A and B are shown apart, each in its own frame.
Chain A
Amino acid sequence: MKWDEFFVTGDPLIYGAMVSIVLVSLAILFGLTYYKKWGYMWREWLTTVDHKKIGVMYIICALIMLFRGGVDALMMRAQTAAPEMKFLTGQHYNEVFTTHGVIMILFMAMPFIFGLMNVIIPLQIGARDVAFPKLNAISFWLFFAGAMLFNISFVIGGSPDAGWSAYFPLASIEFSPTVGNNYYSLALQISGIGTLLTGVNFIVTILKMRAPGMTLMRMPMFTWSVLITCVIIIFAFPVLTIALLLMMFDRVFGSQFFTMSNGGMDMLWANLFWVWGHPEVYIVILPAFGIFSEIISTFSKKNLYGYGSMVFSMVIISALSFLVWAHHFYTMGQGAMVNGFFSITTMAIAVPTGVKIFNWLFTLRKGRISFTTPMLYSLAFIPIFTIGGVTGVMLAMASADYQYHNTMFLVAHFHYVLIPGAVFAVIAGFHYWFPKVFGFRLNEKLGKIAFWFIAISFNVTFFPMFFLGLMGMTRRTYTYSAETGFGPLNMLSMVGAVGLAIGFVILVYNIYWSTRYEPRDKTGDPWDARALEWSTPSPVPVYNFAVTPQVKGRDAYWFSKKNNEPLSDEKITKIHMPSNTGKPFILGIAFFFLGFFLVFSWWIPSIVAGVAVLIIMATMSFDRDHGYYIPVEEIVQTEQKLRGDTV
C-alpha cells in the first residue's frame, strides 16, 4: 500500500476533519501538560476501577460520539435537502450513513446506557462496586479501543460504505475493496468483546451483590431492565462475534462464507447479523424502559404501577427479541408461511410493550406530577414512542412490508423508536442522575429550552419521512430528481435536523453553564426520589455506602425517609476497596493496534500486537493485588464533609 492510499485524500471535508482532529489532539495534549494534569489523568481516570468514574468516561465518549454521529446526520440531511444536491458524492454519502448507523447504535447509545448502568446499578442495589472492577475497566477500554479504531477509518484507509448492516456480497472485498469494512469487522469485534464482558459482570453484580433484604422482586426497575439486558447480551453478542469473524475471514483470508461462488451464501450474513441485530435493539431499549420507570415514578410521587407485569413484560420482550429477526428481510422470498410466523412473533412484541405504556400512564394517575427536565423527556417519550410502536406493527405485517421495506418509512419508524426510546432515555437519565455524580443539578431552564428544541425538531425531522416512504423514496439514496416531488418534505426534514442540532448544543452548553453557576446540592437527594442511590451523599464517595443499607421493601429509600427509619443501624467498619490498575488501559491500546494492523493485513505487526495482548493478560493473571482498606476515621470525615453534618 502506498502512502497516498493510506490517508484518505481528495475531499476538502476530509481534510477539514483531519486538521480538526490534529488540532483537538494537540489542544488536549497541550492542556494536560500546561495544567500539569498528566498525573491526575493517569491516577484518577486512566487507571481507575471505580464504577462511577468508568461510567462517567463511558458517557463522555458517548457524547463525543453523539457529536460525530450527529454531524454525519446533518451531512446526510444537507445532501438530500433538495433535489440534485452536489454537497457530497455518492461514495462519501454511503460512508456517512454507514458510520452514522454504526456510531449511533454501537458507540453512542450502548456506551451511554453502559455509562448510566455503571454509575447507578451498584448504587441502586447497595453495593460497593461491581463484581469485577478490573474486568469492568477492561470492558471500557476495549470499547474505547473499538470506538477509536472505527473513527480513524475516515482519515486513514477509508470508512466502511456498505451500510451499518453490511450485507454481503456488497461488503465483500469484490464490491467494497477499501479497508473500510475491515475496520467495521475489527472495531465492532473489539468493542463487542468488551460488551460481552460487561454483560457477565453486571449479571453477577446484580444477582450476587445486592444489599441484604433486597430480593429480586424488590429491585428497582432500572436494575431489572439491566439484568434482562445483560442476559440478552450474553446470548446475542456471541452471534455477532462469529458473524464478524466470518466477515473478516472472507475479506482478509479469502474464505467462502458469503461469497457468490464456491457455495457461499450471501443471505447467511443477513441472518446472522439480524439474529444479533434485533436483540441489539432491545439491548438499548430495555434499559431505557427502566430509566423511564424510575423517573416517571419519582416525579409522580408514586410507586411504579404494576411492578410485576413490568418485569414480566420485559422478560417476554427479551425472549421474543430472538424470534423475530427474519422480519428484516421479508422480501427475501422465503414464502408466505415463514413470513407469517415472523409477522406474528413481531406483532406479539406490541403486547408486552403496550402493557408497559399503560402501566406508566397509570403510574401518573392520582400522582402529583412535576414537570422537571428528566420528566419532560420521559413524558415526551410516551406519545412519540407509541407512534414508533404502532408503525412497527404496521411494518411487522409482511405483506405491507413489501411496500415499506427499504424506504424512508422504515427510517422514520426506527428513529421514532430509537430516539424517544434510547436517546430521550439516556438524556433523561443524564439529567436525573447528574447531581448524584457531580453534586449539582443541570440548570432546569436551559434544560427545558433544550428539551423543547429537541422534542419538536425531532418530529419535524422524522415525521415527513413516513410520507416520503409512501411516496416511494428509498433509504440510503444520496440524490433524487426534482420530478419525484421528494424535495419539499426533505427540506422540512433538514430544518428539523438543524433544530435538533441547536437543541443538543444548548444541552451541552447547559453542562458548562451549570458547572459554573448552578448551586451545589448538599442533600444527596435533590429530586426527593425513591431508590437507594439517593441515600448516599453527592458526589458519591468512592466507597458508595458508609454502611451497607438494609432493605425492607421496594422503594427502600422513600420509605426510610417517610417513616423516618435509618436504612441501617450498623456501625461504620473499615471498607475493602480494589486498587487502581493501568493494565486495562494498556490492554486497550494493545487491542487497538492489533485491530489496526489486521485492518491493513500487516501480519508481522499483528502478531507482535497479538503477543502483546497475551502478555498483558498473563501479567494480569499473575497479579496478586487484593486491594486496600479505607479506615473508619476517613469514612466518617468524608461523610461529614459531604453531608455537612454528622452521621
Chain B
Amino acid sequence: MNKRGPLFALLLSFTLLLSGCSSLTVLDPKGPAARTLSDTIIFSILMMVGILAVVYALYIFMLTKYRAKKSNEGYEPPHEEGNKWLEILWTAIPILIVAVLSVVTVKTTVAVENVPEGYENQEPLVIYASSSNWKWHFSYPEEGIETVNYVNIPTHRPIEFRLYSFGTISSFWIPQLHGQKYAMSDMITKLNMVADEPGSMMGRNANFNGEGFAHMEFEALAMSSTEYDKWVQDVTETAPELKEDEFKKLLETAHVGRMSFSNTHLEFSPPPSEDHHHGGDVNGNEEHQDHKDVHPDPATTEETEFDSETNVDPNEPLPNFPAEESPNHQHDGH
C-alpha cells in the first residue's frame, strides 16, 4: 500500500529513456561559466538525493512497520509529546546543509557574474544584445558590425554581452555557455562568458514576452579567432549599412531571418544608461562599475551623440537620474 514502488519505477524509466534520448543541454557545457553552473547543479542534485534517501528510508520504515494489521488490533499507540533532542537534531542538520549550500551558492554566483577565471587579463569582446519583439540584435561596437538573430563569437576570448530591450522584458540565454539574464528597457545588464570549443549552440529568449515568444531563438556560433576575424571582415565588406529609418522599420517587424550589417544601431539609437534602477529593494550592483575602466566605452567616436541624446529624446527610455548619482552618470557619458 505504499507508493514508493511506482515512483522508483518512474525514476528508473526516465533515466533509461533519457540516456537513449537527447542530451540535457544545461548539463552539456561548452564554456567555463556554464561548466561552473553545471557542476553546481550536479552537486546540488547529489545532496538532494541524499536528503531524499533519508526521508524515503524513514518513510518506508514507518509505513511498513506501523501499519494497522490484524495482529495488532488491540494495540493502542502511546502518547508522545515529542523529543527535544531529536527535534534539535533535525533542525541542526538541515541548517548545516543549508550553510554548505549557501557557501557554494555565493561562491558560484560571484564566479559566474565575473569574467571566467583565467581570462581576466584579456580584453573582453563587447557585444550589445538587444531584444525587440521578437528578435535579437547583436551589435559589435569594436568591429562596427551588427547581426540579427545570430551571433558569432571567437573561442577562448571573454565575451561581455550587454543586454537591453526595446520593449518587453526578455531573458538572454545560451544554456551551453552561461545562464540567463534579463534584458530590460531602462538599464543594461551584463553577462560574461567564454566559449572554449567551436560549435553551434542554441540561444533564445527565455522570458515570456508575447505572441512570438516561442520563435524568439538565435544561433550562437563559436569559431576560432582566425575564422572569426575573417567573418568580421566579410561582413564589414559585403553587408549593407543599417540606416536609422530601416532600423525603426526592423524593430516593428515581428519576425525576420538572419541579417548582417556593416555598422551598428548604437550610433543613432544609443543604449540605456548603465546605471541601475535604484529601487528600495533592487539595490545597485557594484561589479558593473568595476569593468568600466577595463575596457573603453565602445562608441567613443560617437560620444557627443551619446551625451546629447540620452537625456533629451522623450521617446527613448529614460534612465533614472537621482540627484546623488548624477556625477556617476556624467562619468558614464564621459
Chain A residues in contact with chain B, CB under 8 A? 90-91, 94, 161-163, 167, 169-170, 174-176, 260-263, 265-268, 271, 275, 300-303, 305-309, 326, 329, 331-340, 343-344, 347-348, 350-351, 354-355, 357-359, 361-362, 364-371, 379-380, 382-383, 386-387, 390-391, 393-394, 396-403, 405-407, 455-456, 459-460, 463-464, 467, 469-472, 474-480, 484-485, 488-489
Contact = CB atoms under 8 A, between A and B. Distances in A.
A238 B179 CA distance: 34
Contact of A472 (B26, B67, B79, B314): B26
A331 B213 contact: no
Interface in B171-226: 171, 173, 175, 178-182, 184-187, 189-190, 202, 204, 206-214
A262 B109 CA distance: 34
Contacts of A359: 82, 87
Contact of A91 (B90, B106, B211): B211
A393 B213 contact: no
Contact of B14 (A331, A467, A469): A467
Nearest to B217: A481
A365 B169 contact: no
A260 B186 contact: yes
B72 A368 contact: yes
B80 A302 contact: yes
A217 B211 CA distance: 53
Interface string B39-50: 011001100100
Interface in B1-34: 1-4, 6-7, 10-11, 14, 17-18, 21-27, 34
A300 B276 CA distance: 55
B55 interface: yes
Nearest to A361: B58
Given A335-B284, A368-B75, A460-B10, 9 more contacts: A331-B180, A331-B181, A366-B66, A391-B48, A397-B104, A401-B179, A406-B206, A471-B26, A484-B22
A399 B67 contact: no
A296 to B, nearest CB: 10
Contacts of B184: 266-267, 332
Given A334-B282, A343-B102, A170 B208 contact: yes
Given A169-B169, A459-B7, A488-B21, A402 B315 contact: no
Contacts of B312: none
B281 interface: yes
B110 interface: yes
Contacts of A338: 282-283, 285
A391 B94 CA distance: 15
B86 interface: yes
A463 B214 CA distance: 22
A307 B40 contact: no
A400 B206 contact: no
Contacts of A266: 169, 184-186
**Most chain A Cβ neighbours within 10 Å, of B109, B180, B315:** B109
Interface of B: 1-4, 6-7, 10-11, 14, 17-18, 21-27, 34, 36-38, 40-41, 44-45, 48, 51-52, 55-56, 58-59, 62-63, 66-68, 72, 75-83, 86-87, 90-91, 94-95, 97-98, 101-102, 104-106, 108-113, 133, 167-169, 171, 173, 175, 178-182, 184-187, 189-190, 202, 204, 206-214, 276-277, 279, 281-288, 314-318, 320
Contact of B48 (A340, A390, A475, A485): A390
Contacts of A402: 37, 112, 178-181
Given A90-B211, A268-B279, A368 B77 contact: yes
Nearest to B98: A347
Question: Which 6 A/B pairs are nearest by Cβ-Cβ distance?
Answer: A402-B179, A335-B285, A485-B22, A333-B189, A306-B82, A390-B48
A260 B286 CA distance: 24
Given A90-B212, A302-B77, A394 B44 contact: yes
A530 B297 CA distance: 71
Contacts of A393: 44, 48, 98, 101
B78 A366 contact: yes
A380 B3 contact: yes
Given A167-B169, A367-B66, A472-B26, A400 B41 contact: yes
A307 B81 CA distance: 7
B181 A333 contact: yes
A331 B182 contact: yes
A302 B79 contact: yes
Contacts of A475: 208
Contacts of A361: 55, 58-59, 62
A471 B24 contact: yes
Contacts of A474: 173, 204, 206, 208
Given A175-B168, A268-B279, A339-B109, A333 B87 contact: no
A303 to B, nearest CB: 6
A176 B72 CA distance: 64
A367 B189 contact: no
A336 B66 contact: no
A427 to B, nearest CB: 15
Contacts of A382: 55, 59
Given A263-B320, A266-B184, A400 B37 contact: yes
Contacts of A369: 62-63, 66-68
B189 to A, nearest CB: 3
Contact of A403 (B14, B26, B98, B190): B26
A566 B286 CA distance: 68
10 contacts: A331-B171, A340-B110, A343-B102, A347-B101, A351-B95, A362-B80, A366-B78, A368-B68, A456-B3, A474-B173
B182 to A, nearest CB: 5
A188 B285 CA distance: 34
Which of A302, A366, A368, A460 gathers the greatest number of chain B CB atoms within 10 Å?
A368
B114 to A, nearest CB: 8
Nearest to A168: B169
Most buried by B among A383, A387, A391: A383
B44 A260 contact: no
A94 B210 CA distance: 7
Contact of A467 (B18, B185, B279): B18
A405 B171 contact: yes
A260 B317 contact: yes
Nearest to B313: A261
B52 A390 contact: yes
Given A355-B91, A383-B55, A406-B207, A467 B282 contact: no
A363 to B, nearest CB: 8
Given A403-B175, A407-B206, A267 B285 contact: no
Contacts of B101: 347, 393, 397
Given A364-B62, A406-B206, A326 B281 contact: yes
A262 B318 contact: yes
Contacts of A355: 87, 90-91, 94
A319 to B, nearest CB: 16
Nearest to A451: B3
Contacts of A383: 3-4, 7, 55-56, 59
Contacts of B80: 302-303, 305, 362, 366
A170 B209 contact: yes
Contact of A459 (B10, B48, B104, B186): B10
B44 to A, nearest CB: 5
A375 B316 CA distance: 60
A344 to B, nearest CB: 5
Nearest to B96: A351
B72 to A, nearest CB: 6
A397 B48 CA distance: 13
Contacts of A343: 102, 105-106, 109
A326 B282 CA distance: 9
B331 to A, nearest CB: 19
B211 to A, nearest CB: 5
Contacts of B14: 463-464, 467
Nearest to B215: A479
A326 B109 CA distance: 15
